[in-house]
Each structure stands twice: as C-alpha cells, then as structure tokens.
Amino acid sequence: MKVTNRIKEIRLAKGISQVEMAEALQITRQTINAVEKHKYNPSLELALKMIKYFNVPIEELFTLEEDTK
Amino acid sequence: MKNLQYLAWGFIVVCMGVGILIAKWMIPDLSWSAVAASIGGTVAGVGLVAAVAKIREMKKRDHVPDVDERTWNNMKNFYAAALYFVLIGSMAVVIVLVGLGHETIELGAISLYLLFLFMILAIGSFIVKRA
C-alpha cells in the first residue's frame, strides 16, 4: 500500500514556498521535495505538524492507496 | 546548543592530541618536533573546518536547518549498509592476504587501512547528508 499526499498542491494553492514551509516546520527543503515527490514518507510527528501547518484534515493531505491485487 | 558545538570541537582536538601523545609513547623514536607538528596540524585542521562552518552559517539568509529526521534516517541506512561492506571487505582482504601467503599484518598497514575506511565513511556521510 502506498501513501500519497497533496502537499505540493495545497502548498501552491496557499502561495507558500518550500523555504517558507521548511523554516516553519524546521525541516530541510530537500525533505519537502522528497515528500512532495512521494520518495519519502514523513514520520507521524512531521505529518501531524504538516496538518497543523496547513490547517486541513489528515485525509485531505494524506491518502493510503490500496493495492489492486 | 552553541556551547555543545564548541565542546564537541574541543573534545575532538583533545582526543586527537591524546592520540598523538599515545603514538609518541608507543614509538619513542618519534621526534618531539613531529609531535608538535601533528598537534599544530590537528588544531589548524579542526579550526579551518570550524571556521568554514561558521562562515557558511553567517552567510545563510534563511532559518532552514541543515539536518532533519530524513537526514538521520539516511545516515542510519548508510551506516547499516557500510557496516556490511566493511565487514565483508575486511574479510575479503584477509582471505586475499592469506591466499598470497601472508601470515602476519603490520600494525602500520592496519592503521593505514583504518584511516582509509574512516575517510571513505566520512566522505559517504557528507554525501548522504547533502542528498
């Protein structure tokens, strides 16, 4: 099962840059890039921080894609 | 946090200095000028690295951290993989040396091998930190 997210979409809709988000969440810009490209799944702590930062429900930010097999 | 950083730099210098003094104790023929040069080189080397780090920090315009949870995860994965390479690589070197008919290994050769390993691990850590 794969975790997908809409972080880039929501971030751009709110007009927030990667550097601004990195400063606010105290993470590196590379991590934001990796999460947005689905190359890295954030920890529960970081995921909760992101939800709080964007002020959106968890299901709007992260989705668990079920395997088709 | 800053004090801890300075303490870490100091600790590294002291450890390297103690190492050089142990070398002098183990090798009595080692001249005091070589010991002094080694200690001076250590202080200069660590000072240079600390100065470069400080300049980079002063030049930085944003407040984005250099490391985060992903960096530590990558580091852990790198060291876990490196452990196997070091163990298997060392075993392979021993097998090759035994195959070539060597029965003993000089301490100097081992120290050079360890120096090489540390250098490779340090370069690898630097690359992983940046990725």
The pLDDT value recorded for residue A53 is 94
Which chain A residues are within 8 Å of B62, Cβ to Cβ? 19, 22-23
Q: What is the 3-state secondary structure (H, E, C) of chain B?
A: CHHHHHHHHHHHHHHHHHHHHHHHHHCCCCCHHHHHHHHHHHHHHHHHHHHHHHHHHHHCCCCCCCCCHHHHHHHHHHHHHHHHHHHHHHHHHHHHHHHCCCCCCCHHHHHHHHHHHHHHHHHHHHHHHHC
Q: How confident is the prediction for chain B on average, in pLDDT?
A: 88
Size of the A and B interface in Cβ pairs below 8 Å? 35
pLDDT at B30: 82
Inspect the interface and report whether the beta carbons of A30 and B63 lie closer than 8 Å.
Answer: no
Chain B residues near residue A29 by CB distance under 8 angstroms: 64
What is the rounded average pLDDT of the residues A58-62?
Answer: 91
Could you tell me the residue ranges of all domains in chain A?
A: 2-54
pLDDT 10s digits, A9-31: 999 999 999 999 999 999 999 99
Chain B contacts to A (CB-CB under 8 A): 62-71, 131
The predicted pLDDT at position B61 comes to 79
Identify all chain B residues contacting A46, using CB atoms and an 8 Å cutoff: 69
Q: Examine the predicted complex and report whether its ipTM is higher than 0.85.
A: no
Percentage, residues of chain A above pLDDT 90: 84
Fold exhibited by the domain A2-54: 434 Repressor (Amino-terminal Domain) (1.10.260)
pLDDT in tens, B25-66: 888 888 888 888 888 888 898 889 888 888 888 887 778 888
